[in-house]
Structure 1
Amino acid sequence: MGPGMAATRTGGAGRIRCVAPAPLVLLLLAVLWFCVAGAGGVAHAAGEEDVLPPERAFRFAARQLDNRSIEVHFDIADGYHLYRERFAFAAQPAGVKLGAPEFPPGQVKFDEALGKPMETYHGGVTIRVPVVVAPVDGKWLLTVTSQGCADKGICYPPMHSVYKVGGGLLGGLFDKHRSRTPMTSPVPPATPTLPSMGEGQTGLAVPSAAPTNDGGGDIARVLASRQLGRIATIFLGFGLLLTLTPGVLAMVPILSSIVVGEHVTRGRALLVSFAYVLGTAVAHAGVGVAAGLLGERFSAGPPTPWALEAFAALAVALALSMFGLYELGRQPPMAASSNRWSGGRISVAVALGMISALAVVRSLPVPLAGALAYVEQTGDAVGAGGALFAMAIGMGVPLVLVGVTAGYLVPRAGHWLKVTKRFLGFLLLGEALWAVSPLLPPWALMAAWAILLLIAAAFLGAFDSLGPEPRSLTRLGKGMGMVAALAGAILLVGLASGGRDLLQPLSHLRAGAVAPASTAGPALVRFERIRSVAELDARLVQAAAAGKPVLLDFYADWCVSCKEMERLTFSDPRVQARLADVVLLQADVTRNTADDRILLKRFGLFGPPGIILYGADGRESPVRVIGFQSASLFLDSLAKAFGDDGKH
């Protein structure tokens, strides 16, 4: 028996009780290491060359010299250049008039890609923009369009940078239009709003206003304010809004399994709950810090099988403890061991909280994207880590309430403690299936859920006799067991008859009864796969020539939200009708190749899910869809993005 471990045997059962499970904590921390590697998505070697994102290659700044002139400056990274003829300047409102910009002399060289001599700037360029007519109050917006390339031959799309003139010091801190960051897509400036989540939505349709890079652009601007109180408050609010998302709900059975026990007092339940939430907060902060330290290597890689399988293994291990195979951190009979028990269970709670958070952090695309976009632009890992820490604390508020409630309501001994543990055990097994669902084919997932439901039905007494005078709770358990048995049977029938939809296993039979197989049901949305920026640009040119809007979907096999969009949103007849005249492109970034990373960098994305929309004129819409949206919300997003372009 190793150090820090004591064991006793209970009559007949022969179960091992881990009093102070130090080796177990070390094992969990080892699993945590693999989770960090998976969550970080370090998908390529450190020695591999990377192309800088545009906001780092061309750093934008502007200042007002006087009422009649604005100075615009670009700090250009080594190995990159900007084209003089690609600069353009525009002002809002329409009454503002600008004079001819004053450029410094550049370096003229023959551009192989464009096939002609081009004047370029290296290192940096400062441009003076005369102001002929300005508003009386002196407040207006200057939009600077620029385009550049890396000397190695990779070019960026046109970028838009916005500077608010006349905002003053406070305006510079709080105004949403002010920017020092170029944009990665050619769209006009729009007024952004802080994201909010509604029913049927775990993602956002965000105005991609300059300088927004993605759905987290508004969040990145909050971080850029460097106001710690404001950042903490807003991200704490995000955490509270995320409490009912699958990623947070998945943690409830895990925490409950730690709290439930024969000798857990209410005070200890509260302490263990706080320890678990602290573990999740530390893990979220670690993701932000890792993004800053790894830089380009913290890419859009999937949560990888490492993270998902580790989380599933954790859930299965806890489920086995709920079924009585072993017990974690159980208090021994001697009071003198109380402190050792408490420390052991708290350390387990912290470790489990960290592992749980790292496994589900990728299910929070919007705040995570915002924090990582900020790190990508500034390298401030501490700021992003602190913001994610505050968000995790907000997410943990209901978890603490669950832990305290379990300490008050769950019996500490007897038959109903065993029933409660078994119930939590099945919840944990279901959680394990949920975690690995992106890795399993549909038929295997349906079969696994069917088997789990049937076993749960047997444990709930669905196949047992009630007896002459059954109690109400016994009747309730049998009823729940019969429902589980029916659901499992339906899944088996659907699977055997060719169904592959976990939520609607018999839908294929209904469709076949209504119409012949050749015409059954609405046609599925068909995407054309693209594999590189060159393929995307070619299809965009063709679509613009044909006057058709374009939808570009970033997809991966491991992306849960992508599967939800595919199953629940793109299958909706209204969505299919709306997309009938839209060119549908899809970038499959499952393998996270070099071309995949370049595609993602072009749009400032860290990974799927993400949908980019282009109008019939070939210009990117200021609306992007980040994360899952229900059919109704997605139709609203299409209406905002396409207007009448998407109608037929």
Structure 2
Amino acid sequence: MMRVLFAAALALCALPAAAFDEADLLPIDEAFQVEARAPTRDRVEIAWTIADGYYLYRHRMGVQAEDGFAATAELELPAGHRHTDEFFGEVETYRDRVEGVQRGAATAGAATATLRIRYQGCADAGVCYPPHTRTVRVALPQASAQGTPVDGRAAIGALFGSGAAGTLARDAGDQPLPPERAFDFEAIAGSPTTLLLRFTPAPGYYLYRDRSEFRLVDAADGSSVDAPRWPAGSEHEDEHFGTQVVYFEQVEVPLPVRRGSGDAGAVTLEATFQGCQTDGICYPPMTRRVEVDLPAADAAAVAASREAPMATRAADAPRETPPARPLNPGLALLLALAGGLILNLMPCVLPVLSLKAISLARSGGAPAEARTHALWYSAGVLVAFTALGAAALALREAGLALGWGFQLQQPVVVAALTYVMFALGLAMSGVVVFGSRLAGVGDALTRRGGRAGDFFTGVLAVVVASPCTAPFMGAALAFAFAAPVALAMGVFLALGLGLALPFLLIGFVPALAARLPRPGAWMDTLKQLMAFPLYATAAWLAWVLTSQRGADALAWLLTGLLLLAFGLWLAERQRHRATPWLRGFAFVVALAAVWPLWRVHALPPAAATAATDGAVAYAPERLATLRRDGRTVFVDMTADWCVTCKANEKRVLDTDAFRAALAENGAVYMRGDWTNVDPAITAFLEAHGAVGVPLYVVFHGEAEGVVLPTVLTEAAVLGALEPPP
């Protein structure tokens, strides 16, 4: 009988649990209500109000201080009720209400403190909540004039951080040193292309290898640093970051420098690093700046520094990577010749080639005249390439990091080139005929096709060709920018020869010249028709200027074009009239168009617009983080004035197939805009052997990047996005 009664009692006790539905559980914030207050700047009181039928585990409660407050000890809690738990064994629990105290120190000047409060509890019905974290913000009392009294341990916590980074030393008598004494840091020049860093941890302290970053601050010549070459360290099981490589004694670390120029000068190194006290606190990341005098470097050393592999993160372990094999000078010249030849087919050159087509048509196949056209046009091309190459090399030697197309990064150059294209269009349309007082340039271009006109057409072809990068050009230009001056100028001349080669062939191969059409009345119609590519080029340049300096720049540009057009029209009306004052007035009006150019130059850069195609803006730190996380990243270095870039975007990058490939491979599309001068993008271009845009590099995690061709194809892009085998 007693056995039957006992069984019935057990059944009755089990009924509530058996009938309990988890839907009846209170939300965790109702089962365990949390509130916090700070009566003083060194004490935060936290209280939990616990609903009936619920309890909290003492050992699952804690606080991590964040902004505005530094914890100096573990959360203080009263003794709880002993409880044998089926999950944790012998534990202490709280019911109804429990209050705890978190001691520490408020950050100087902080008005509030942010705390992350963690806890875990259960319902008597036998259902437990997962661990929960609640972030609260607590108002801090104002410090008195004498300052809030805190003990030494609290002051240490305020100085050295919070949470895991501010845990007190286990030995209360072993007070941590200030960061400057705990970790001494020095830097000197070890060579023209290397900085030598020296870290000296105090006895009882250690330095992390992989929690450091280094950069040059505002290097005027575009110099940057590569991965530090850390020596072997000690493996240490760290309570904060797991297994880490650390240094307990003085360590010297070579830091390679990618030189932007060979000139001697001072650079400012910014070093960020982190370390800990053995069995004590961990310091928050500390940043030091040191000025170092770099000695002069010769051209070979500068070139070698740029060939080194670019760092993907500041704390990489030392690695041996063979330097890139330099091009043979003969091969570089051949590539330059081929690149210049292909440049004739690029869309940026076609508007100017329409001018040359007019002059060739006027020659009517006459051998002597065709040779004259070809030679003077080629002379203009070669002189312009020589001047452009000399300017680029001189500016780089002066400390400016530049690349192919650098002149179009200057808004005033873009605006002036718009004037030229617009004026030539007016001339081709017959609105104005430039006379001999302007060296016969326009007249030669639009009527007689004389020597000055041919020469000027060649110069203009080079100027507008710079937004384009043809196949083979990239390697040749990269060689030129690192080679001695004489050899570099040879590369630029080979590019010019390639651009002029088709017209030289027409001029010196009678069979080709004989195929030219005979002059006739049809040429006037062709000349007027060819004005429209020039107008289109002017419109494109105006759009580029808007990207660089905003809508105000466009307004000033249109004002300048209006003044220029009116002045040229008025001058043409007065060509055969004896009205000197009107001709002078026309000249003054046309000259007034220079004023808007100055206004454009004075405008600030336009605000960056948010990408609408899912691309993220290029940032070296962001790229390094994504690569460390094992992500695939498609880096697109572009510019609004780069016609090749825009053609690639239209044909390949702005397509559903490309977007689908990004999504399928979990890839990030990162875009760098080089429309304006950007040293970070210039450094990336140099690191990958490019001297201009476009540049496309695909990274799969921390593997070396794959550089894609200048002219993209869909197959090449989709194949590069696929993960390597």
Relative to the length of structure 1, the TM-score reads 0.48
TM-score (norm 2): 0.43
* Higher RCO by CA contacts (8 Å cutoff, separation 6 or greater): 1
Of Structure 1 and Structure 2, the greater helix share is in 1
- Which one has a bigger Cα radius of gyration? 2
Whichever structure has more strand as a proportion of its residues is 2
